[in-house]
């Protein structure tokens, strides 16, 4: 009894292979796109920058970075109970998100090979990086006697289709937010080594540079397709993607505050910092960014957090399913309303700042 409390049990596909977490609106997604449209893309308006980025990818600065060292070779049973469950969940979510990047970039590299060799090589080299990242995380899971069957995941997960331009907005933001997430954890643990309870965080400094370069690639791609940045639609889409990425992260992380607490971070402060930095970074390429310093921004997100807690309580209650629906309805409506109001909040136009601090 005590043992089972200390070591949470996970559902397994086969011994040691974890059943993937159930897909919800907040779990990492897999993407697919219109490969022909991507292949036909004219990148000449920004070809020089894209070539420079390709050279960076070829240099492969992290070639020797992802090697597990002696510090991993010990029992991690000291991380137990709820912390262990949260750790495994963090590793699984990160591994899935990295693997999602790998799959998309790999497929783009393959499909563009003959039609657009420059882009194809960029995608292949980015998929190389993501394979390393997800592999390293999966290896970390094995320290907790689990792993993910990535082949199974490839076949069993749903794929979300996005037109190329939406792939650019979404992946640009996920790479840049990934950069800020990793570097913020790294810097915090650098200042507080006593909170570094597991060695993977030591790898985040060089790791996040990969994500930063990937983000720069999508920045350059959007500049090569000026219509993704220049018109009124671009402004609306920028707002939409910024809000979706920020809200998803915030709702996910606040629910998992225990994980951040286990490494000495306050989840809310951490997210506010990451959102502020990512928003600022996005201002270098997007025509508008969100007014995240307006108190209304987090007030509304916090209402969504409370609604989600109530939704979970209802789902876990013994009330019959059809009654649960009616209990849940007001909270769904409230979430929709909050997100709509957040979307309609006056954004910050950054097009006039071109060439200054951007």
Residues in the site for Fe ion, rule: CB under 5 A?
98, 130, 133, 175, 211, 214
- Bridge-based pairing of strands 30-32 and 159-161 is parallel
In this structure, what token pair is assigned to residue 25?
A: 């609106």
Q: Least distance from C-beta 213 to Fe ion, angstroms? A: 8
Q: How far is the CB of 133 from Fe ion (least distance, A)?
A: 4
CA dist., res. 27 & res. 3, Å (int): 29
Report the largest interatomic distance among the alpha carbons of the chain, rounded to a whole angstrom: 65
Least distance (Å) from Fe ion to the CB of residue 327? 39
Q: Between 217 and 331, whose beta carbon lies closer to Fe ion?
A: 217
Six token digits for residue 239: 């707002």
Which is nearer to Fe ion, 130 or 253 (by Cβ)?
130
Is the Cβ of residue 128 or residue 300 nearer to Fe ion in the bound state? 128
By C-beta, is 97 or 243 nearer to Fe ion?
97
Q: Token digits for 307?
A: 């609604």
Cα-based torsion angle of the residue sequence 279, 283, 286, 290 in order, rounded to the nearest 10 degrees: 40
> In the structure encoding, which two tokens stand for residue 209, read together?
């540079």
Quote the least distance from Cβ 137 to Fe ion, whole Å: 9
Closer by beta carbon to Fe ion, 87 or else 207? 207
The DSSP secondary structure of 74-132, one letter per residue, reads: S--TTS-HHHHHHHHHHHHHHHHHHHHHHHHHHHHHHHHTTT-HHHHHHHHHHHHHHHH
Q: How far is the CB of 175 from Fe ion (least distance, A)?
A: 5
């Amino acid at each position: 009894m005590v043992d089972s409390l200390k070591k949470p049990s996970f559902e397994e596909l086969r011994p040691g292979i974890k059943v993937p977490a159930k897909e919800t609106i907040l779990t990492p997604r897999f993407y697919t796109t219109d490969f022909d449209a991507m292949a036909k893309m004219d990148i000449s308006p920004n070809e020089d920058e894209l070539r420079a980025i390709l050279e960076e990818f070829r240099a492969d600065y992290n070639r020797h970075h992802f090697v597990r060292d002696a510090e991993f070779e010990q029992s991690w049973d000291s991380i137990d109970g709820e912390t262990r469950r949260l750790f495994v969940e963090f590793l699984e979510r990160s591994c899935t998100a990295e693997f999602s990047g790998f799959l998309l970039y790999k497929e783009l590299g393959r499909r563009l090979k003959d039609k657009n060799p420059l882009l194809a090589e960029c995608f292949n080299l980015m998929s190389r990086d993501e394979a390393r990242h997800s592999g390293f995380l999966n290896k970390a899971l094995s320290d907790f006697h689990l792993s993910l069957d990535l082949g199974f995941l490839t076949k069993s997960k749903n794929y979300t289709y996005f037109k190329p331009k939406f792939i650019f907005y979404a992946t640009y933001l996920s790479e840049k937010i990934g950069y800020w997430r990793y570097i913020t954890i790294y810097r915090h643990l650098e200042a507080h080594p006593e909170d570094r309870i597991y060695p993977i965080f030591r790898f985040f400094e060089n790791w996040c540079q990969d994500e930063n370069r990937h983000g720069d690639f999508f920045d350059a791609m959007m500049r090569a397709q000026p219509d993704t940045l220049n018109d009124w639609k671009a402004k609306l889409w920028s707002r939409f993607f910024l809000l979706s990425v920020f809200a998803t992260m915030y709702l996910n992380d606040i629910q998992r505050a225990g994980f951040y607490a286990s490494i000495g971070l306050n989840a809310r402060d951490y997210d506010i910092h990451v959102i502020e930095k990512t928003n600022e970074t996005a201002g270098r390429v997007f025509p508008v960014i969100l007014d995240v310093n307006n108190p209304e921004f987090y007030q509304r997100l916090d209402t969504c957090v409370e609604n989600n807690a109530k939704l979970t309580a209802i789902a876990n209650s013994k009330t019959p399913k059809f009654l649960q629906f009616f209990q849940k309805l007001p909270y769904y409506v409230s979430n929709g309303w909050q997100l709509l109001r957040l979307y309609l909040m006056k954004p910050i136009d950054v097009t006039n700042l071109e060439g200054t601090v951007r």
